[in-house]
């Protein structure tokens, strides 16, 4: 059963980004794209990149790697999502006007994920974890 579940999760994550680059690297190169595990190239529109550039401080610009992973949060009492890591959680909290759950960890619920997708749909990636 565990092997089957791992296989299903692997299939769900075939769109996972590989070789993530920082916001600063992408802005400097003017290449706002990333590759996925399946070989697809995903482009982040310039408007989303500029929004993130204006939102981030200098430290976040050199540390924030795109796309930002939003993963399932199985530790939550009900269906939830999470963003882990610094500066990812901090930047997403700022976008949504939310308080951090704990340092480097932000819990999201369905309305939060919807709002995040409305603001930076191509700069985030939903990841399914067991």
Mean pLDDT of residues grouped by 10 in the chain (130 residues)?
A: 61 79 98 93 97 98 97 83 96 95 90 96 88
Closest by CA to 70, choosing from 16, 5, 11, 8, is 16
Question: CA 61, CA 64: separation in Å to the nearest integer?
Answer: 6
Q: How many CB atoms lie within 10 A of CB 72?
A: 17
Positions of E strands within the chain: 17-18, 21-22, 33-36, 41-43, 65-66, 68-72, 81-84, 105-108, 124-127
Question: CA 125, CA 122: separation in Å to the nearest integer?
Answer: 7
Question: CA 87, CA 68: separation in Å to the nearest integer?
Answer: 10
Alpha helices in 31-87 (DSSP H): 46-55, 58-63
pLDDT of residue 4: 66
Question: CA 39, CA 29: separation in Å to the nearest integer?
Answer: 21
For residue 98, give its domain range.
2-127
Domain count, the chain: 1
Q: How many CB atoms lie within 10 A of CB 35?
A: 13
User: pTM for the full model?
Assistant: 0.86
**Dihedral over Cα of 130, 92, 111, 118: its sign:** negative
């Amino acid at each position: 059963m565990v092997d089957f579940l791992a296989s299903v999760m692997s299939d769900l994550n075939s769109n996972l980004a590989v070789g993530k680059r920082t916001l600063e690297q992408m802005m400097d190169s003017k290449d706002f794209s990333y590759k996925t595990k399946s070989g697809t190239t995903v482009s982040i529109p310039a408007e989303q990149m500029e929004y993130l550039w204006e939102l981030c401080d200098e430290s976040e610009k050199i540390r924030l790697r795109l796309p930002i992973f939003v993963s399932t949060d199985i530790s939550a009492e009900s269906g939830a999502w999470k963003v882990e890591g610094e500066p990812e959680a901090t930047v997403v909290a700022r976008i949504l006007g939310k308080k951090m759950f704990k340092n480097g960890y932000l819990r999201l619920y369905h309305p939060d994920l919807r709002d995040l997708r409305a603001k930076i749909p191509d700069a985030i990636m939903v990841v399914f974890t067991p």
